[in-house]
Amino acid sequence: MELSKVSTQFNQIFKNRDINGLITGYIPVYDDSKNRIEEIMKFITEREIDEFIIIDDDHSLNSLEKEHKSKLVLTNQMIGFNEENLKLALEIIGR
């Protein structure tokens, strides 16, 4: 499925749940990154991003530094983004 279609679907899900921020992109797979943490950190650094939420099901992200882990919504691969994740995401963005 192409990313623009996925973005549209996620944005509609978030809108339906009264989350007004837009998903504008996804972290690409960086060939020179050894793991998901490196990919995320590279993405944040390259784009000089200050405000973000990380929504992912990769449990290795529990090893993120405290500053970035505080913005992590760790989902369950079998369940996906659920009400508990939504509450956490809303707390992170201060709603």
Q: pLDDT tens, position by position, for the chain (95 residues)? A: 455 666 788 788 778 877 777 777 778 888 999 999 999 999 999 989 888 999 999 999 999 999 999 999 999 988 888 889 989 998 998 86
* Closest alpha carbon to 75 in 62, 58, 60: 58
Predicted pLDDT at 20: 74
Nearest to 39 by CA among 78, 47, 86: 47
- Measured from the Cβ of residue 93, the count of other Cβ atoms closer than 10 Å reads 13
pTM of the model: 0.75
Residue 75 confidence (pLDDT):
93
pLDDT at 1: 47
Give the model's pLDDT for residue 2.
53
